[in-house]
Amino acid sequence: MTRPPLKRLGAILGLFFFAMSAIVLRLVFLQVRDAEALQTRGESQRMRTVPLPAMRGSILDRYGRELALSLEAEAVYADPQHVTDPAAEADQIAPLLGERPAQIQPLLMGSGTFAYIARQVDQPVADKIAALQLPGIGFLPESKRYYPSGALGAPQVVGIMGVGPTNAYDEPRGGLELAYNDVLAGTDGQKQIEIGRDGNPIPQGVDIVTPPVAGQDLVTTIDPQLQYQAQLALQEAVKSNGAKGGTVIMMNPKTGEVLAMATYYPSGKKGQASVVDRTSNPAIGNVYEPGSVNKVITASAAIEENKVPLNEVFHVPDTYTTYGYQIHDAEPHPTERMTLGDIITHSSNVGTILAAQQLGPDLLATYLAKFGYGQVTGIGLPGESAGLLPPLYSWSGLSMANLPIGQGVAVTPLQMVNVYATVADGGVWTQPQIVKGTVDPAGTFHPAPPPIQRRVVSEATAHTVTGMLAHVVSSGTGTAAEIPGYWVAGKTGTGKVPDPVHGGYLNKYVASFIGFLPASDPQIVIGVIIDQPTTQIYGGLVAAPVFQQLGKQAIARLRIAPGEHPDFPPSAMHGR
């Protein structure tokens, strides 16, 4: 009988025990010490987070029609490590994307694991590519922005989405898209899924969806038909007058709602289609010296402060000399007897300067500021300029000859139109409005806060000035704006363009006409500003006819009834 091999058994047992201890120790390391790190590592290999972009809200006109809308689209990407035949796949994908295979193929041959092939691909096209079931080709949900009205649908007001400063693909760049991005964008969601080694989701695996919250719709004050007519008339006027560009603004004076805001500055070479710049808005961002349309402020201040009685007769020559400079009226004339009403009606520079001298610089500066010069209107669009109103302490001796007639001061078209809206609304300045409110994803309308208002001149003063402006159209410099059957109030302007290099002024002009109708109960204010026309230069010849055309459109569109005869001011020239 042999003895059991105790030593060997003991050795084997010890070895076994040692091995088991090592395994247990390793398990403790894996399951306890490194458990969290390993779990995280495993999850990072298995879990995929797919962003679910929120659908961007639409931008609507005042009737709820879409000026900008987003639709679902797909980003098509490639994982070159899984692409088996780059040339063949490029040949199949390229025609569907409207590209050449040579453009696609390099993207399928990269060394990385992800490369965009195309962004914002329409869903039907993405579906066709998906149906090819090409290895290494994937899709990510995103949205695509559309602007159905194109260049005739308030492009500078709406703005655009595009490649922005941070190089992100879809950033708001200008207009309401930028100003109201927080409202429109919504909140992106995400989907977490567990995938296997083959890249497909694991059945019964993790599938957590955080749904996106859609953005709100933005309801603007834009009337699409007036906007279209304004844009069309402006383009025609700019072309026919050989102008650099122009702006048209149509506004409801009682509410401050902007019904149309059109700008047209053709770019590109002659014969080529003009590219619309949606990222800047000259109606609020460009400033110009307004010229005679500014005289309405001088007259309003003089009347409000009782500095110039309406029946006071000025003896007005056609030239005024101060500090060695001569300022002329637009046409030569002998010294004429003029009331303030005559001065405005015939847009006499010299007469306006004489009236302003009775007003004095302090009050003129006060009223220029009260009418909104030197301050942004706060319409809520990006890039608004405050214009340039020289502070009173910096005024020179020439200032009282320049500022009353609208030179030496710079305003935006919107500021200037708002001055006339103030007169039209009985002397109350109303902050211009471009947004009526928002509509949340549940469909509830949230109105925008009411506009800021302030009284600038009394109702009586506004009424008197309106009579003067009606006389301008009836028998003054603005007869081309006359609409038979209606009393139109308005003023012409022909402002000189400053020379930024040498100082002084260029031999170029900004022609404008700003007015409202009907004079006795204004329903709409229309401002037409034509920048540097070359065929004619006067506002009464270049801009007033555009006002007339748009005024007729507005009458028909808004069903404006003719009003009462306005009270014309006393006139020395017309024997009243």
Partner 1 sequence: MAVVVVGAMVFALAATNVLLAQGAFRIQALAQEQEQLRQVNGELRLNVAGLITSNRIAQEAKRIGLVFPSVIEVVHKNGSRELSGLPTSSTKPPRIATTPRSGGSG
Task: Point out the residues that are catalytic.
Answer: 292
- At its nearest, how many Å lie between partner 1 and the CB of residue 545? 8
Of 365, 536, 566, 572, the one binding partner 1 (CB under 8 A) is: 536
Residues 74, 75, 76, 81, Cα dihedral to 10°: -130
Instruction: Report DSSP letters for 495-542, one per residue.
Output: EEEE-TTTSSEEEEEEEEEEEEESTTS--EEEEEEEES-SS---HHHH
Of 118, 129, 258, 541, the one binding partner 1 (CB under 8 A) is: 541
Q: How many residues bind partner 1 (CB under 8 A)?
A: 67
**Interaction mask 168-187, partner 1, x per CB under 8 A:** --------------------
State the angle between helix axes of 459-475 and 413-424 in degrees (0 to 180), rounded to the nearest 10: 110
Does position 431 interact with partner 1 (CB under 8 A)? The reply is: no
Of 57, 159, 387, 406, the one binding partner 1 (CB under 8 A) is: 406
- At its nearest, how many Å lie between partner 1 and the CB of residue 330? 3
> What distance in Å separates the CA atoms of residue 261 and residue 229, rounded to the nearest whole number?
11
> What distance in Å separates the CA atoms of residue 36 and residue 13, rounded to the nearest whole number?
34
**Interaction mask 338-357, partner 1, x per CB under 8 A:** --------xx-x--------
**Interaction mask 121-140, partner 1, x per CB under 8 A:** --x-----------------
Bridge partners for 513 per DSSP:
492, 528
| Nearest Cα residue to 459 out of 300, 308, 344, 306 | 300
Does position 479 interact with partner 1 (CB under 8 A)? The reply is: yes
Task: Identify which of residues 358 and 475 has a Cβ nearer to partner 1 in the complex.
Answer: 475
- At its nearest, how many Å lie between partner 1 and the CB of residue 286? 19
Bridge partners for 437 per DSSP:
219, 447
Bridge partners for 340 per DSSP:
none
Of 297, 555, 566, 572, the one binding partner 1 (CB under 8 A) is: 555
Does position 230 interact with partner 1 (CB under 8 A)? The reply is: no
Does position 209 interact with partner 1 (CB under 8 A)? The reply is: no
Does position 398 interact with partner 1 (CB under 8 A)? The reply is: no
Task: Identify which of residues 78 and 316 has a Cβ nearer to partner 1 in the complex.
Answer: 316
CB-CB contact of 432 with 422 (8 Å): no
* Residue 328 phi, psi dihedral angles, 5° rounding: -110, 160
Does position 485 interact with partner 1 (CB under 8 A)? The reply is: yes
Does position 477 interact with partner 1 (CB under 8 A)? The reply is: yes
Of 539, 543, 547, 572, the one binding partner 1 (CB under 8 A) is: 539
Report the relative pairing of strands 314-316 and 59-60 from DSSP bridges.
Answer: unpaired
Does position 494 interact with partner 1 (CB under 8 A)? The reply is: yes
Task: Identify which of residues 324 and 484 has a Cβ nearer to partner 1 in the complex.
Answer: 484
Does position 407 interact with partner 1 (CB under 8 A)? The reply is: yes
Task: Identify which of residues 279 and 492 has a Cβ nearer to partner 1 in the complex.
Answer: 492
CB-CB contact of 320 with 350 (8 Å): yes
DSSP character for 111? Answer: S
Task: Identify which of residues 40 and 123 has a Cβ nearer to partner 1 in the complex.
Answer: 123
Measure the N-to-C terminal CA separation of the chain; round to a whole number of Å: 152
Residues 20, 21, 22, 25, Cα dihedral to 10°: 120
Bridge partners for 98 per DSSP:
none
- For residues 269-328, which are near partner 1 according to CB under 8 A? 291-292, 295, 326-328
Does position 471 interact with partner 1 (CB under 8 A)? The reply is: no
| Nearest Cα residue to 217 out of 61, 65, 439, 436 | 439
Give CA separation, 17 vs 381, 390, 557, in Å. 79, 95, 97
Q: Of the ranges 17-25, 160-168, 188-196, 543-551, which one interacts with partner 1 (CB under 8 A)?
A: 543-551
- At its nearest, how many Å lie between partner 1 and the CB of residue 14? 51
One-letter amino acid of 104? I
Torsion 23-26-31-37 (CA) sign: negative
Give CA separation, 564 vs 190, 483, 488, 521, 560, in Å. 63, 14, 11, 8, 13
Report the relative pairing of strands 59-60 and 217-220 from DSSP bridges.
Answer: parallel
Of 174, 540, 566, 569, the one binding partner 1 (CB under 8 A) is: 540
- At its nearest, how many Å lie between partner 1 and the CB of residue 412? 18
Does position 152 interact with partner 1 (CB under 8 A)? The reply is: yes
Task: Identify which of residues 263 and 347 has a Cβ nearer to partner 1 in the complex.
Answer: 347
Of 178, 537, 543, 572, the one binding partner 1 (CB under 8 A) is: 537
- At its nearest, how many Å lie between partner 1 and the CB of residue 84? 29
Does position 520 interact with partner 1 (CB under 8 A)? The reply is: no
| Nearest Cα residue to 221 out of 247, 245, 183, 254 | 254
Does position 548 interact with partner 1 (CB under 8 A)? The reply is: yes
> What distance in Å separates the CA atoms of residue 451 and residue 448, rounded to the nearest whole number?
8
Of 366, 545, 567, 570, the one binding partner 1 (CB under 8 A) is: 545
One-letter amino acid of 282? P
Task: Identify which of residues 309 and 397 has a Cβ nearer to partner 1 in the complex.
Answer: 397
Which spans of this chain sit near partner 1 (rule: CB under 8 A)?
A: 65-66, 69, 71-72, 123, 146, 148-150, 152-153, 224-225, 227-229, 291-292, 295, 326-332, 346-347, 349, 405-407, 475-486, 492-496, 507, 509, 536-541, 544-545, 548, 552-553, 555-556, 561-562
